[in-house]
Amino acid sequence: MPEPAIHVADLRKTFTVPVREGGFLAAVRSFVRRQHREVHAVSGVSFEIAPGEVVGFLGPNGAGKTTTLKMLSGLLYPTSGEVRVLGHVPSRREAAYLRQITMVMGNRNQLQWDLPALDSYELLRAIYRLHPDDFRKTRDEFIELLDLGDLVRKPVRNLSLGERMKVETAAALLHRPQVLFLDEPTIGLDVTMQKRIRSFVAEYNRRCGATVLLTSHYMADVQALCKRVIVIHHGRILFDGELATLAADFSADKTIAVTLKEGAPERIDFAPYGEVLGSEDGKVSIRVGRGRAPDVAGRLLHDLPVADLTIEDPPIEDVIESVFAGASAEAPERTPEPAATR
């Protein structure tokens, strides 16, 4: 069995942050006796990711996602626990390790603001000591895949958010890393640009066999790229498994969509069958308990002139929200994390 690309065991990160009430007197007191409290951003996280696997890392703001990614990339030192990526300990920041990873954070710039992206690409070539021929081949390949065209010749400050994110993504992968930490790579982008970034990441994974750990609040990113997801909340893992099984494990409901034949009565009371979610273009959606779905479907087919009927899991966004809601109800009250840990 091959060694995992990412190995995490009982990973923890605790921040000590100052505490002070508002007001002048509280400010004066803080000079004499400053009080602190501990914030447990990550609390005993464990998982492994195989080489070439694309995994979604999901959780609400403050769950500990970015803190975990920063420890995996070596930007933060863990309080305790074991982390190994490609056989390296990230916190040592060894050059051999840094050449094999990258971290992309949405809305964070790494390119020179006043220079064309091509000039920054040349700087990255020198930093990573890339062979000129290999560098040009990779650069031109990315320009084609991302449809960058003349964008790389314009100063970065003149690009739109979506255009800037495309040239930033290309820059982050010029050294062909084997592990990608993607933290909200499509945040703030329109639907077309999100799809372009997703397609590029999928193609890069296919061509290079890279391992990808992705955080995103856009479930379209996760559904398009990830078969497996890890759900984290309050610094702890709630779920680790295939995306397809998430609904089965955490959702108690199914959605039945019913389309009636032409000529069917216009007013039909669907309430006896379940909770009516809505009607659009002649299709009525009904929510029923997972165990009742086959029986309700049979009744609908028997009672009504049905042209089409489907039984579906609820939208994955609703499932994820129910996971968080259940965890919040069971967990003790928790002080919000500092913004830097999110």
Q: What is the pLDDT of residues 150-208, one digit of tens each?
A: 999 999 999 998 899 999 999 999 999 999 999 999 888 888 889 999 999 999 999 99
Does the residue 233 lie in any domain? yes
- Residues 33, 103, single domain; the answer is yes
Q: Which amino acid belongs to residue 29?
A: R
CA distances (Å), origin 39, targets 73, 213, 315, 330: 21, 24, 33, 19
> How far is it, in rounded angstroms, from Cα 64 to Cα 144?
35
Q: Which residues make beta-bridge pairs with 6?
A: 49, 85
pLDDT band at 340 (very low <50, low <70, confident <90, very high): very low
Does the residue 124 lie in any domain? yes
User: What pLDDT is recorded for position 338?
Assistant: 46
- Residues 206, 99, single domain; the answer is yes
Does the residue 265 lie in any domain? yes
Q: Find the domain containing 22 and state its range.
A: 6-247
- Residues 186, 266, single domain; the answer is no
**Average pLDDT of the residues of the chain:** 87
Task: Please write the tens of the pLDDT for every residue from 196-233.
Answer: 999 999 999 999 999 999 998 888 899 899 999 999 98
CA distances (Å), origin 250, targets 88, 216, 231, 290: 35, 20, 12, 11
- Residues 216, 117, single domain; the answer is yes
- Residues 106, 167, single domain; the answer is yes
- Residues 110, 226, single domain; the answer is yes
Task: Please write the tens of the pLDDT for every residue from 242-263.
Answer: 987 887 777 778 889 999 888 7
Does the residue 323 lie in any domain? no
User: What pLDDT is recorded for position 299?
Assistant: 93
| Other CB atoms within 10 Å distance of the CB of residue 314 | 19
The pair phi, psi for residue 228, each rounded to 5°, is -115, 145
- Residues 45, 109, single domain; the answer is yes
- Residues 88, 16, single domain; the answer is yes
- Residues 11, 68, single domain; the answer is yes
- Residues 164, 275, single domain; the answer is no
Residue-by-residue DSSP string for 252-293: -EEEEEEEEPTT--S----GGGSEEEEEETTEEEEEEEGGGH
Whole-structure pTM value? 0.79
